[in-house]
Chain A
Amino acid sequence: MSITGLSPAAIALNRFGLGAKPSEAPPTDARRWLTAQFDRFDARPAVFVALPDAGAMVKSYREQQQAMRQAARLAPTADTVPTKPAKTAEQMAVRQDFAQDVQALYRQAVQARTQSALETQAPFIERMVHFWSNHFCVSADNPQTSAFVGAFERDAIRPHVLGRFEDMLLAVEQHPAMLIYLNQIQSIGPDSLAARRAAARSPGKVRGLNENLGREVMELHTLGVRSGYTQADVTEFARALTGWSVGAQGPQDDGNADDFAFRPNLHEPGPRTILGKTYDQAGVEQARAVLIDFARSPATATHVATKLARHFAGDMPPPALVARLTATFTKSRGDLPSLYRTLIESAEGWAPTPLKFKTPWEWTVSALRGLGREQVGQLQMAGVQSQLGQPLWKPGSPAGWDDTAASWAAPDALLRRVEFAQRLVAPIGDTIDARVLGPKLIPASFSPATAEQVSRAESPGSALALLLISPDFLRR
């Protein structure tokens, strides 16, 4: 039996928000409940502010490494052949300590994101933070990216979620998490000062471009794949981006590891031609000008509109909604609240049947909120999300997590949710009546079939677990 006739309140709470809370009355004016959140959003929740300083952690690690490399070079060795020395026990220990510190920081950042999702007064805007964080994703696959991943969402995404697309884009591409993740900090202009000096010192060694960030900016962050750019455009943009780097990279560098730094010595000199337009700006301004043009391109408007429509109006985004969002993006010059208003005002976003299968993250957060949990507490969300198949901030690819049911509605993934639901309700099962809770979480539209199964469960805990894994609750 399919679920029909979702109420506007149920849609606002679950499809647009992060899931209903039993303590909150359902909104009487669903659209106004959403727009009112624009003024209630907290860009810097205390839990995020309290995260340890990733930049200091990374900087201290880099300094320790440099000191040890220096010491190794100065130490006399019996072997006169200058081969690459094996890592000393001390170096290994420093690296291991750093990896452990980073893991602890990553886990704390995951807890902070969850806590913020539980306590927010603006769950729709909080959902948009999660959306943009996935659109501009970094994947915490190595220690240095992992260290910055929480700071990335806090400092590059959250401040701009109610701002303009191009400001978020610039903040993202200048954040150390992105510059490290997509190898930008290693990229060197082949004709730059640094490359020419290096060639004079050691002629055989190739130092040059890495086009990873350039390509993914065009393909994933802005224009979208197959929007008409060529390999030559990618390479030219990669040249324009040379010099974009982070602070505290070398012994003479007294900057901060969490700051953007432009390094003129690495920058490829000369004008660049990208998508037929010539950019003759000097230094950091060159790639910045390209990024702003990308942000204002019609291809970017369509790309972003399609992803937004898919997130709210179904895996096959309705073309009319995509067209309206594209028009809003262009007309408002990428003003994000204007896009959110177009979504809220759309008919497509309020279709009364469930349009989306919740991702593991969406499902877990809605379950915690639905059970009335105010504090994430001792629940280790990083581990939970790994077990459910969506380790937070670790999609393993710069494309981010896929936003369609085909990626999440799978046999084993479903079984994991059942397992986790049972674990979650075990300590609280007999304190909550699932028969009462169901209609609160899905106001005025809780399906009779699920209600019947829940009422027939063998125990209160079992009833609660069934509610969380019911077809009604798996979808939004």
Chain B
Amino acid sequence: MIGVAPPAYDPAAPTTANTLPVGASTTVRAYVVELFRRHRRAFLLLITVNTVAVVASMAGPWLLGGLVERVSDGVGDRELHLELTVGLFVAALLVQAVFVRQVRLRGAMLGERMLADLREDFLIRSVGLPPGVLERAGTGDLLSRITTDIDRLANAMREAVPQLAIGVVWVILLLGGLVVTAPPLAAAVLLAVPLLVIGCRWYFKRAPSAYRSEAAGYAAVAAALAETVDAGHTVEAHRLGERRVELSERRIKEWTAWERYTLWLRSVLFPFINVTHVMVLASVLMVGGVFVLQGWIGVGQLTTGALIAQMLVDPVGLILRWYDELQVAQVSLARLVGVRDIEPDVGDARLAPDGRDVHADQVHFGYLEGVDVLRKVSLEVAPGTRLALVGPSGAGKSTLGRLLAGIYAPRDGRITLGGAELSRMTAERVRSHVALVNQEHHVFVGSLRDNLLLARTDATDAELWAALGAVDADDWARALDDSLDTEVGSGGFALTPAQAQQIALARLVLADPHTLVLDEATSLLDPRAARHLERSLARVLDGRTVVAIAHRLHTAHDADVIAVVENGRISELGSHDELVRADGAYAALWRSWHG
């Protein structure tokens, strides 16, 4: 075996576009500096206790060296000072034990504090992202950052940073100890350094990305299986069992190819390290031995030097062990810090709507440069009107809904609420007037109470029950074991989609905005459940302005005004009866629906 080339397939390569920015190196550096500054005292403390521990650890070799010197000189019992030496030895050992414990503990405390800071910073940033960025980017990228990247950083923060600090101080002190013992011995140690440097340079150039690929490959093995399990029904119905086994085995092959490559990398590095360790000891013994024979240094110094050289194995191992972890962590850190590069939501806090009229005037909008999804859309929604948007998938209904909810700003034209431009208001202001409800009925992990309180944090239990009552949810909510304190969401009590939907609507009742945009809010439900829910909804929404992106025609039927959106334009506009009379696309659909 001459060598192993890195596998061609890289499972760590991105498959979907990064929808959020990745931090530039200057941003990352600034963040690291800030992190260090914040934890300066803890760092100093760690280095101090570490210094004491290492210095104490050198007492043994030093005292033994003295004894060896005196024994080989054949001094008398009085001059041997055996009891005193042993006493010092015991004292040094106790100091060392106490401080080693401190080093370990302080290292963990520092690491944990930094890690906690990092993950909390990230979440704080994330929840401050402008709604438009979230709609556009989706939450997938953010989600992978908060799980995978935080995970990767956990090791680096909690272990690598403190351990590297410890290791570096340790090596420096041991070398210092050697210099104090006998300078030529310290020089002898340096003979081995070039070898180590060569090996490490070769290795660290390749290792970090290889480990990242290896980890991604391993995760892909587990992911393939998890998918087979999750899709059990589909796999069986389509007779995909054998293919899933083949896929798992292909993933295993890809993963093990990377394992083989990293094993090869270590197969090169290990001999370098092993030879370095023995060479350090050998050069101290040989060079030192010759010096003793020449009478330039004493045999005691040689003994002390050899034992200290032997102690270098641990800190060098520590540094090598954690160095690549730090390199891997850099990439993850850049991804986390990248969220800081997103412009926070800037809105004019003074801007407030006067009235409830929604007005769209000659609006153009597109997600990509030069491709408009909406063209020349003008619309007026009077307070209390129920407007239904209907039309085929991809026609731009949802986009129009989001513009009306102030999530996106039009490329051209204006959308105003009570005369004030929506896109220039702050997100907090917009949402106190307009709420967008989409298919996503997320039930948060936590109590039922928390799931409702988010809409109005100061609501009393009585108000929460009133809101649940308004959406017909109080019956099942009262039947829960712990009532409002029942843990729901993933891992807790499993709510049905209909119940989740009711929670979402109860939040609306609590938030009480005067204008709502409902984007296929009931589409994921069983049609029968959806119908029932829409009935409760109608009660709740009485008197409010409602823009409903209708997906079932009966929703349209009940609306005051129906806008048919086709191909980015409003092609028909009017009440149900008017449109049926006009005998256009809507009328044709209605007839087919109603039989």
A binds B: no
Measured CB to CB, the residues of B under 8 A from A are: none
